[in-house]
Chain A
Amino acid sequence: EVQLVQSGAEVKKPGESLRLFCKGSGFTFTNYWISWVRQVPGKGLEWMGRIDPSDSETNYSPSFQGHVTISVDKSIKTAYLQWNSLKASDTAIYYCARLETYPDYWGQGTLVTVSS
């Protein structure tokens, strides 16, 4: 069974760093791009970027380029989404997903709350 399992909820302060994980199982991890999608409370879905686990090639949405880093450790079938300095506006649910397959697969989502 294909699964994407994500980190648990996080509560952080502005300026802190954070790394979320997304662990894949039930499929050949290096064969599929992993995307990250944001949902700010009360707002719509936003695609942030994706990574090819086979070679770590990344594509970022211009809206998120430079604000987050997407990385991968293929030895443990895990993709990451990282911030060096969080802002209150980063408060959101973050999903990892496999979007280029039929069907698509999504993680359960991680709620990140950034508040002083």
Chain B
Amino acid sequence: DVVLTQSPLSLPVTLGQPASISCRSSQSLVYSDGTTYLNWFQHRPGQSPRRLIYKVSNRDSGVPDRFSGSGSGTDFTLKISRVEAEDVGIYYCMQGTHWPPGYTFGQGTKLEIK
């Protein structure tokens, strides 16, 4: 089965500084139609999760442009250009290319303010 490995698992960041999270897949996430179904989710404390990025690099509506996604094949990155206090939470990558097993999340990366 496809496994998504995130790093780091813990990310202390100073306000206003950039942050970067890596997501590596055990298999290519390019689907037969050429689309790469790799998404990024944010889960703030006490809230429901929400998707930030879909298909590698597309921001969902309402997501600040300080969030960006990139990558291809098996290696993907979520970047926050300048971390704000509201960005505290856990970030997950999720693949939707391989069925079964269906959607698969990475282990999560906990972002905190230094």
Contact = CB atoms under 8 A, between A and B. Distances in A.
B76 interface: no
B34 interface: no
Contacts of B48: 95, 97, 106-109
Contact of B60 (A44, A60, A103): A103
Interface of A: 35, 37, 39, 44-47, 49-50, 59-63, 95, 97, 99, 102-104, 106-109
Given A45-B41, A45-B43, A106 B50 contact: yes
28 contacts: A35-B103, A37-B49, A39-B43, A44-B107, A45-B43, A45-B94, A45-B105, A47-B103, A49-B102, A50-B102, A60-B102, A61-B101, A61-B102, A62-B1, A62-B100, A62-B101, A63-B101, A95-B48, A95-B49, A99-B51, A99-B96, A102-B60, A103-B51, A103-B61, A104-B50, A104-B51, A106-B48, A106-B49
B99 to A, nearest CB: 7
Given A61-B102, A61-B103, 18 more contacts: A35-B103, A39-B43, A44-B90, A44-B105, A45-B41, A45-B49, A45-B92, A45-B94, A47-B102, A59-B99, A59-B100, A61-B100, A95-B48, A97-B48, A106-B48, A106-B50, A107-B48, A108-B48
B108 interface: yes
Nearest to B100: A62
Contacts of A103: 50-51, 60-62
A56 B94 CA distance: 24
A95 B54 CA distance: 19
Nearest to B55: A102
B104 interface: yes
Contacts of A109: 48
A94 B56 CA distance: 26
Contacts of A102: 54, 60-61
A36 B93 CA distance: 17
Output the residue of B43, B49, B92, B94 with the most chain A CB within 10 A: B49
B20 to A, nearest CB: 19
Nearest to B103: A47
